[in-house]
């Protein structure tokens, strides 16, 4: 009977703090959280970066909204999908572009992000570009394709639900209970022998396990790209309001495949610069360069010029992406599977 009383008291000691943690998390979630917002201006373009909440609990997503307003006659070039946000898991992405009553272009990109851990976190600077096509204005700085507007870093804190004194509270107050009966003495030599064997074998087993994990995570750039493309093909075809996001994801699959396939790391390049860089590879034939150029330009027309593709255009783009990936798979290097998203 004494043993059972001690067990019940110990269990209550552990359950109490756990209930306190849940209550703290519920109160925190119910309170309205402020937003962090900064505005930046470059010539005829104003950009606003907004993050909310500023102090999320661990496990809660944050919403990042990038809004750019350009004067009439100024062409906006918003960041590529996920650019500068690699350390976060992207839960949702909604781009939108419109013209206001004054003829200005208003472009919005809204992300729902999952921070990787608790503690201090930061949204890196985000690069926006624009071309000034107004009469009497220079379209871009000399030697460049476009003007640039770079936002500042946004720092925020991800809160933990575990109190600082949790370790002290969770210590059992009654100490360790004595065993009801001693273990059979005749078996202890076997236990010691087993521990010795495990201790000697553990370094080799650990190295073998690490090597196996590394091999399991490495797949060819082609396999990863096809996995991403097949996942996109399995979804229903996009509605009119989802066309932009669909083409962002489709062109992102092809572009990441090219970066992995030809070992490029140039997210800041424009489509033409990117094509010129990839075209220097001896592994890419002229036919494949032409196929890639047509595909990326069609995607740019949808994403940046507001062109609404027909069902045949969408199927043509999907077929072009599939052909390009399948026909250039030879000699594709191995990359880490962590790039799948």
% of the chain at pLDDT higher than 70: 76
Distances (CA, A) of 341 to 201, 240, 249, 333, 337: 37, 24, 11, 19, 9
Q: Which pTM value belongs to this model?
A: 0.42
Class assignment of domain 36-158?
A: mainly beta
Q: What is the pLDDT of residue 110?
A: 94
Closest Cα to residue 81, out of 66, 68, 69, 71? 66
Q: Which residue has the tokens 């066309």?
A: 243
Q: Report the sign of the C-alpha dihedral through residues 133, 138, 140, 143, in that order.
A: positive
Which residues lie below 8 Å from residue 113, measured CB to CB, with a gap of 6+?
A: 61, 62, 63, 64, 85, 88, 89, 90, 91
Q: Where are the domains of the chain?
A: 36-158, 218-339
Q: What is the pLDDT of residue 79?
A: 94
**Beta strand extents in 102-161 (DSSP E only):** 105-114, 119-123, 127-132, 147-150, 154-158
Confidence of residue 3 (pLDDT cuts 50, 70, 90): very low
Confidence of residue 338 (pLDDT cuts 50, 70, 90): low
pLDDT in tens, 57-72: 888 999 999 999 999 9
% of the chain at pLDDT higher than 90: 34
């Amino acid at each position: 009977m004494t043993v059972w009383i001690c067990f019940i008291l110990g269990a209550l000691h552990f359950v109490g703090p756990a209930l306190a943690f849940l209550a703290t998390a519920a109160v925190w979630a119910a309170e309205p959280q402020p937003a962090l917002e900064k505005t930046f201006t470059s010539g005829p373009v104003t950009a606003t970066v907004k993050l909310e909440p500023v102090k999320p609990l661990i496990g809660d997503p944050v919403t990042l909204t990038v809004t750019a307003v350009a004067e009439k006659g100024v062409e906006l070039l918003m960041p590529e999908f996920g650019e500068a946000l690699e350390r976060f898991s992207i839960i949702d992405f909604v781009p939108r572009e419109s013209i206001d009553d004054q003829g200005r272009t208003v472009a919005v990109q809204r992300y729902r992000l999952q921070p990787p851990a608790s503690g201090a976190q930061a949204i890196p600077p985000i690069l926006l570009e624009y071309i000034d096509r107004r009469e009497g204005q220079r379209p871009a700085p000399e030697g460049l394709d476009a003007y640039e507007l770079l936002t500042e870093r946004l720092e925020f804190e991800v809160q933990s639900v575990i109190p600082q004194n949790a370790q002290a509270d969770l210590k059992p107050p009654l100490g360790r209970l004595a065993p009801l009966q001693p273990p059979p003495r005749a078996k202890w030599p076997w236990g010691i022998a087993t521990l010795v064997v495990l201790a000697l074998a553990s370094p080799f087993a650990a190295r073998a396990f690490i090597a196996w994990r590394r091999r399991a995570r490495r797949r060819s750039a082609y396999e990863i790209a096809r996995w991403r493309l097949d996942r996109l093909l399995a979804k229903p075809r996009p509605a009119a309001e989802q066309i932009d996001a669909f083409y962002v994801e489709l062109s992102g699959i092809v572009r990441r495949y090219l970066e992995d396939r030809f070992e490029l790391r140039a997210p800041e390049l424009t489509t033409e610069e990117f094509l010129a860089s990839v075209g220097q590879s001896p592994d890419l034939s002229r036919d494949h360069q032409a196929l890639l150029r047509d595909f990326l330009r069609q995607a740019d027309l949808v994403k940046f010029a507001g062109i609404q593709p027909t069902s045949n255009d969408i199927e043509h783009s999907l077929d072009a992406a599939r052909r390009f990936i399948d026909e250039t798979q030879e000699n594709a290097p191995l990359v880490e599977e962590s790039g799948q998203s």
